[in-house]
Chain A
Amino acid sequence: GAVVSQHPSRVICKSGTSVKIECRSLDFQATTMFWYRQFPKKSLMLMATSNEGSKATYEQGVEKDKFLINHASLTLSTLTVTSAHPEDSSFYICSAPDRPGQAFFGQGTRLTVV
Chain B
Amino acid sequence: KNQVEQSPQSLIILEGKNCTLQCNYTVSPFSNLRWYKQDTGRGPVSLTIMTFSENTKSNGRYTATLDADTKQSSLHITASQLSDSASYICVVGIPANQAGTALIFGKGTTLSVSS
Pair from one complex: no
Which residue numbers of A lie inside 8 Å of B, CB to CB?
Answer: none
